Structures are given as C-alpha cells and as structure tokens.
Amino acid sequence: MPALNRLPLLLNVNGEDVELFVPVHKTLLEVLREDLDLTGTKHGCELGECGACAILIDGQPILSCLALPIEYQAPARIVTVEGLADGAILHPLQETFAELGAAQCGYCTPGMLVTARALLDQTPSPTREQIVEALSGNLCRCTGYVKIFEAVELAAERLRSTQKAVV
Ligand code: FES
Ligand code: FES
C-alpha cells in the first residue's frame, strides 16, 4: 500500500508507548488485533451493537470497532483485556468470572470484563441495577447474564475488602 495511505501513530497501550505506521482505514479494533496482536478484544458486530470490542480509554469504556486510532493517540491511555491482570495476578473480576461460571464460550467476556472494571473503578459498591445498566451494551448469547452480574458483585466485594485491608 502506498505510504500516503498510511498514518504514523503513537499509542499508549496497557502502559506502554508503541509507535506504528498503519493504513488510514483501520479501526482501533483492527490495529489492536492485527498490528499489536492483542486478540483478546473481539470482533463482533462491528456496528456498535454488541460490546465485544469494548476497551478502556482513560478509564472509560469505548467501542473500538467504531473508533479511529488517530483519535486515541498518547497521552490517552488504552487498556485492553490483556492489561487487566497484574503480571500473573488476575484482576478480581477475572477470578470471579472463572469461579462462578460467568464465561461460557467467552466471546463476550473481554468486553464484559473491561466494562465492569470501569464500573467498579467509579462505583465500588454498585447495586444490581447499576451493574445491569453498565453492562447493558454488552451482549451475551450463552450465560443468561445472572452469573455475570453475580461475578461483578463478588469482585466488588473482594476489591472493597482488599482496600479496607490496605487502609
Ligand atoms: S464489535 Fe464493536 S460493538 Fe460489536
Ligand atoms: S459467554 Fe458466550 S457470548 Fe457470552
């Protein structure tokens, strides 16, 4: 492809700055998956309707299938599902999703996890209604949602008790 159709980009992804030179037509979802090999973020509808492609930008969930990477260059901080764990230590949401069977085929799970992470960062003690509302843009065909909501509640409880222990 001619250089004219490519863009230089500087992205901050999961705490690291990366320089890229990518075709102008690529969405942020495509850049993450195809250029950075961060395939945890999923291709779903590509129409902004399923939430499978959700990532965090400065702590807020966005749909990467609708985003152009040039809009989210550093210093914007991009976090994908790969950035939730702290090295080998899973985020409490990842633990509770696994423990409670909140992931079945797992296709919706990365989007659910990052969206729930944003909720718990902003609302440490969410009500069931707040959890349902926060995840209303994330579709799941397998679980019936109840286990997902319970996993978010249990992760919130664990995060609160960790924070109390630190104080
Ligand atoms: S793939 Fe982005 S909302 Fe469905
Ligand atoms: S676990 Fe299969 S779509 Fe949610």
Q: So what's the pLDDT on residue 110? A: 98
Report, as an integer, the average pLDDT of 44-71. Answer: 98
Across all residues in the chain, what is the average pLDDT? Answer: 96
- Whether residue 12 is predicted with pLDDT greater than 60 in this model: the reply is yes
Query: Exposure pattern of 55-92 as b/e (b: 16+ CB <10 Å)?
Result: bbbeeebbbbbebebeebeeeebbbbbbbbeeeeeebb
Residue type, position 120, single letter: L
Q: Do 118 and 166 meet the contact criterion of CB atoms below 8 Å apart? A: no
pLDDT in tens, 104-150: 999 999 999 999 999 999 999 999 999 999 999 999 999 999 999 99
- For ligand 1, pick from 30, 50, 136 the residue to mutate: most ligand atoms within 8 Å of CB: 50
| Cα of 143 from ligand 2 centre, angstroms | 6
| Cα of 165 from ligand 1 centre, angstroms | 38
| Ligand 1 atom having least distance to the Cα of 42 | 1
| Cα of 46 from ligand 1 centre, angstroms | 4
Please give all residues whose beta carbon lies within 6 A of any atom in ligand 1, as ranges: 43-46, 48-53, 63, 65
Residue type, position 91, single letter: H
**Using CA positions, which residue lies closest to atom 2 of ligand 2?**
105
Ligand nearest the Cα of residue 43 is: 1
Q: So what's the pLDDT on residue 165? A: 75
Q: Do 95 and 125 meet the contact criterion of CB atoms below 8 Å apart? A: no
| Cα of 41 from ligand 1 centre, angstroms | 10
Return the residue matching tokens 């309707």. Answer: 49
| Ligand 1 atom having least distance to the Cα of 50 | 4
- For residue 118, CA distances in Å to 6, 42, 44, 114, 141 come to 32, 18, 21, 6, 22
Q: What are phi and psi of 98, to 5 degrees?
A: -70, -45
| Cα of 163 from ligand 1 centre, angstroms | 33
Is the pLDDT higher at 148 or at 166? 148
